[in-house]
Amino acid sequence: MSILQNTTSSSIIFLLTGVLGLEAFHTWISITFCFLYITAVSGNSLILFAIVTQPSLHEPIYYFLSMPSTTDLGLSISTLVTMLGIFWFNAREISLNACLSQMFFIQLFTVMESSVLLAMVFDCFVAISSPLRYASFLTDLKIVQIATSMVLLLKRLSFCRSHVLHHSYCFHPDMMKLSCTDTRINSAVGLTVLITTAGVDSIFIIFFNFLIIKTVLSIASPEERKKAFSTCVSHIGAVAVFYIPLISLSFVHRFGKQSPPYVHTLIANAYLLIPPVLNPIIYSMKIK
């Protein structure tokens, strides 16, 4: 099949890419990625296992901690097969439907994690004692609608340019670049989703963290300040490891057009791998 064929058929095949410019080091990169995936999957699974099996952890604060572990686990599993398949078996081909399905789950778990982090920070600020009030921020319907809208808009596009994607997984901006159809609606929806989820969430997270720090510093006793801050430190750490790679990826794609191709790929992979790897370490400070 010609890669220049103009088609919207579900039989279209995309070609995923490893780390451009670092092909000679793919073996070592694959070992590193494999280690990170094992750490992410096993770490988050252990967190969930501990919370489910230990009666002493059946409390609202630990239920909150189980939510990011669930999203991190889903995010890792959704990209594991294609990522390691490229480096181990040179399995680069992926169908349009499979690509859209992977992109759906990446968007789904990313929006979920951003919203859960906002709920956790809010929970920390007001010291919520009733379980799982995060639903006031987020509903299952809202999450599915956000992820589905981007997939359906990509489904309507025609792809008549090269079908070679520049990442090891299906990335929404990467797929839009291959279309010969007008993508202004896709770009507008993508920007709207970014602003209304990660953008708004991050603003509120910064605001509540400011209030948390202000409240902690207003406590007279140093011992009480230390105790109050320790209850929220895991939330602040989780926010940092999620948003720093996300912001770095956004800046590289926006301002790093002259950067080597491997910089974009490595940061895109780090965005998916760093939070699932580091979050279990952060949460383990709460779960002794």
**pLDDT at 286 exceeding the cut of 80:** no
Q: What is the pLDDT of residue 17?
A: 87
Does pLDDT of 42 surpass 90?
A: yes
Per residue in 78-108, pLDDT (tens digit) is: 998 888 889 888 888 988 888 888 988 888 8
- pLDDT bracket for residue 35 (50, 70, 90): very high
Cβ contact 102:82 at 8 Å:
yes
pLDDT at residue 168, rounded to an integer: 85
Q: How confident is the model at residue 196 (pLDDT cuts 50, 70, 90)?
A: low
Report pLDDT digits (tens) over 174-186.
777 777 776 677 6
Identify which has the larger pLDDT, 131 or 17. Answer: 17
Q: Grade residue 271 by pLDDT with cuts at 50, 70 and 90.
A: confident
Q: pLDDT tier at 112 (50, 70, 90 boundaries)?
A: confident
User: Which superfamily does CATH assign the domain made up of 13-285 to?
Assistant: Rhodopsin 7-helix transmembrane proteins (1.20.1070.10)
- Write down the pLDDT at residue 97: 86
Query: Residue 37 pLDDT > 90, yes or no?
Result: yes
Mean pLDDT, residues 246-254: 77
Quick one: pLDDT at residue 129?
A: 34
| CB under 8 A, 24+ apart: contacts of 1-7 | 3/162, 3/163, 3/164, 4/160, 4/161, 4/162, 5/160, 6/158, 6/159, 6/160, 6/180, 7/158, 7/159, 7/160
pTM of the model: 0.77
Helix axes 60-89, 261-283, angle to 10 degrees: 150
Q: Which residue has the higher pLDDT, 134 or 201?
A: 201
Q: How confident is the model at residue 6 (pLDDT cuts 50, 70, 90)?
A: very low
Cβ proximity of 230 and 237 under 8 Å:
no
pLDDT at 40: 93
> Is it the case that residue 157 has pLDDT exceeding 80?
no
Q: Using 50, 70 and 90 to split pLDDT, how confident is the model at 151?
A: low
* Average pLDDT of the segment spanning 123-135: 49
According to the model, what pLDDT value does residue 137 have?
A: 44
| Chain segment 20-33, per-residue pLDDT in tens | 888 888 888 899 99
CA–CA gap between residue 210 and residue 133 (Å, rounded): 21
Instruction: Give me the residue spans of the domains in the chain.
Output: 13-285
